[in-house]
Amino acid sequence: MSSNNNFLSYFLSPSLFLLLISPVMAWAQADLATEVQEATSEKPLIYEAEKYFSNMAQLTFGGDNAEAYWSFDSKKLVFQSNYEKWGVKCDQIFVLQNTNEYDPRPKMISTGSGRTTCAYFMPGDTTILYASTHLAGKDCPPPPAPRADKKYLWPIDPGYDIFVANEKGELVHQLTNSPGYDAEATVSPDGNYIVFTSTRNGDLDLYLYEIATKKTTQITKTLGYDGGAFFSPDSKKILFRASRPKTKEAIQEYKNLLAQGLVAPTDMEIFICNLDGSNMKQITSLGRANWAPYFHPDGKRILFSSNHHSPRGFPFNIFMINIDGTGLTQVTFDNSFDSFPMFSPDGKKLVFSSNRNNGGSRDTNVFVVEWNE
């Protein structure tokens, strides 16, 4: 996953899939057969307490797979993965054409160079928006160096820009080219706007891009990290995660880290506002990390991931809350990690990423489930 959208570490080695007939190829084919057998076996994926879920399907098996987002027609998913058996060394963008079954080799639509994050279908479902560092270099940007204080940090890589590609992987448009970090872009349900995070003004703020006019407007202006934004079902409001340093020490630390291209994501709450930034309201006041918010189809509730209930900071589970901050309800109950919930546009299914059913490994996989209320 991208450094700023996952709380789990990830590791990669060279691809094991070769295009030559050889003993190594035979081994890879045998390994693929094992994957398919595992993917089609009967396994209890839903925990007893997960009352909103039925008919869950696991769509990936291996690596870190996250930020899976639906096409407008609710038939496809785009997501990022660092799965070494797909020939990548860090996060790249893939498309699942069928959300009802496991695909051992989904189509990669990013360039394969640099690191990517936050893909999203454009209106019409024939092109895909995503952020990439490939113009800054072909290699994967290195993760932050270990710190003596062991503080968990996300790199805000200035090499990220936002691009649009077709499903063949051909780049058809570069949306941003300003200095600094431009990423975390999503598209409004009405197809008129894109919201994204940028450091172009010296802070991590949200910006609104109008697709028809190509006009960009700054939405947030309060010091702190604003990101992971999504639109309401009626495309009139924006939901996002934010850090809001308030003490002199916290403000100075935030500024020092940002100057190094880093941000600490361990203290975030969920906010909502109008498209122009007006009527700003804080939804959660739970403490710790509350992030990856997404609107319920009714527009009155949201789902989000949080570790506020975890004295040791883990696990992360998905919760639901009214947009006025009332009615907090726990939705998922994995003992490690559940996050990135997104309802299908038709409101029938939910996609999310989880550590469940990973055999005790660090793998994070994509799951689709029918939503019941």
State the DSSP H helix or E strand holding residue 39, giving kind and residue range, or none if neither: helix 23-39
Q: pTM for the full model?
A: 0.89
Q: Which of 8, 29, 11 is nearest to 20 (CA)?
A: 29
Q: Which residues pair with 65 in a beta bridge?
A: 81
Residues counted in the chain: 373
* CA–CA gap between residue 97 and residue 16 (Å, rounded): 23
- Do 324 and 338 meet the contact criterion of CB atoms below 8 Å apart? no
199-228: b (≥16 Cβ within 10 Å) or e: beeebbbbbbbeeeeeebeebbeebbbbbb
Domain positions in the chain: 23-29+43-371
Q: Residue 300 gets which letter from DSSP?
A: S
Calpha distance 220→207 (Å, rounded): 7
Structure tokens at 239: 């939901």
Whether domain 23-29+43-371 has CATH 2.120.10.30: the reply is yes
Tens digit of each residue's pLDDT, the chain (373 residues): 344 444 444 322 322 222 323 333 333 333 443 454 455 445 689 999 999 999 999 999 999 999 999 999 999 999 999 999 999 999 999 999 988 888 899 999 999 999 999 999 999 999 999 999 999 999 999 988 888 888 889 999 999 999 999 999 999 999 999 999 999 999 999 999 999 999 999 999 999 999 999 999 999 999 999 999 999 999 999 999 999 999 999 999 999 999 999 999 999 999 999 999 999 999 999 999 999 999 999 999 999 999 999 988 889 999 999 999 999 999 999 999 999 999 999 999 999 999 999 999 999 999 999 999 9
Residue 309: closest CA among 318, 322, 297: 318
